[in-house]
């Protein structure tokens, strides 16, 4: 993967500059660039019947404590388990780094920390062999650019209980009749009046494609307290929308303008995280 990163780095920088225009913020002065997020999807090995969830957790917690939590190039990380998706076996390992270069540095640092944690090569190999038994050989990697406009959870909202993440993936469109700054203005109005005011949405995180299968991907990740709050959050979005645009025609006009920046296709996924493996 390291070689791939180096070969693609120049091209991806160009693509980000070209495709990130639609959702970039108006101000050119940024205290900190949004991070780059790597999502690695692996699959549980159902053929490994000797293992238990408790044993799996013990191994992952040991690795988290000795490697992930100590890796200074990983800003934050999360482990998500299937809750309502089309594949019950999937497990997502999500890691954020400052930029593309830090993704490579994080990978190199992982190796260094692993050698420090298990200096004996045989013990290190034994640990990773045990860990690997819980997964099939199939995995995929997607890399996303975090975007401006997030609603971030504060420390008081983060507890020892799992957080439920509702993920909606849409496909971006690039209309020829778009006006400069139109989508930024529309997004700002929508976020301030529908997302930020929604008490059921504890966190909101928008991302767009950087490296992966579909360059049109636009992800919106909603963090809520429970599975039941997903439906409540969606209902509240409808209510807040009507409150802000009480006139049916005005509301229709807004969404007609807004939706022209999307193809109309979308997919929905719901995951829960493992709190002890969250950085």
For 8, what's the count of Cα atoms within 13 Å in the CB-facing half-sphere? 14
Interhelix angle 248-259/182-190, nearest 10 degrees? 130
CATH-assigned architecture of domain 148-277: 2-Layer Sandwich (3.30)
Q: What residues does each domain of the chain span?
A: 2-22+29-144, 148-277
pTM of the predicted model as reported, rounded to 2 decimal places: 0.87
Q: Are both 2-22+29-144 and 148-277 of the same fold?
A: yes
Decide which of 1.20.1600.10, 3.30.70.100, 1.10.132.50, 3.40.190.10 is the CATH code for 2-22+29-144. 3.30.70.100
Task: Please state the separation of Cα 216 from the chain's center in Å.
Answer: 15
Question: Tokens at residue 170, please?
Answer: 């849409």
Q: In sequence order, what are the residues at sequence separation of 6 or more whose Cβ sits closer than 8 angstroms to the Cβ of residue 111?
A: none
Per-residue pLDDT of the chain (279 residues; tens, 9 = 90+): 333 333 333 333 333 333 343 444 333 333 468 999 999 999 999 999 999 999 999 999 999 999 999 999 999 999 999 999 999 999 999 999 999 999 999 999 999 999 999 999 999 999 999 999 999 999 999 999 999 999 998 776 777 899 999 999 999 999 998 889 999 999 999 999 999 999 999 999 999 999 998 999 999 999 999 999 999 999 999 999 999 999 999 999 999 999 999 999 999 999 999 999 999
Residues facing residue 171 across a β-bridge: 217
């Amino acid at each position: 993967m390291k070689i791939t990163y180096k070969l693609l780095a120049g091209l991806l920088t160009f693509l980000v500059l070209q495709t990130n225009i639609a959702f970039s913020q108006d101000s050119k002065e940024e205290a900190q660039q949004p991070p780059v997020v790597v999502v690695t999807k692996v699959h549980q090995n159902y053929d490994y019947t000797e293992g238990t969830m408790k044993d799996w957790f013990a191994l992952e917690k040991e690795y988290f404590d000795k490697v992930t939590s100590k890796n200074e190039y990983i800003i934050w990380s999360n482990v998500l388990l299937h809750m309502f998706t089309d594949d019950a076996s999937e497990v997502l390992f999500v890691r954020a780094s400052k930029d593309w270069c830090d993704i490579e540095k994080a990978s190199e640092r992982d190796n260094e920390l692993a050698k420090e944690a298990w200096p004996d090569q045989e013990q290190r190999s034994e640990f990773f062999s045990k860990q690997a038994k819980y997964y099939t050989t199939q995995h995929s990697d997607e890399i996303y650019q975090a975007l401006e406009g997030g609603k971030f959870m504060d420390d008081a909202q983060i507890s020892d209980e799992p957080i439920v993440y509702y993920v909606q993936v849409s496909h971006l469109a690039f209309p020829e009749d778009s006006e400069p700054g139109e989508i930024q203005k529309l997004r700002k109005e929508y976020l301030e009046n529908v997302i930020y005011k929604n008490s059921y949405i504890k966190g909101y995180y928008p991302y767009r494609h950087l490296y992966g299968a579909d360059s049109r991907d636009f992800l919106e990740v909603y963090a809520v307290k429970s599975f039941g709050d997903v439906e409540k959050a969606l209902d509240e979005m409808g209510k807040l929308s009507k409150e802000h645009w009480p006139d049916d025609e005005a509301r229709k006009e807004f969404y007609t303008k807004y939706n022209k920046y999307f193809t109309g296709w979308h997919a929905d996924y719901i995951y829960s995280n493992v709190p002890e493996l969250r950085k």
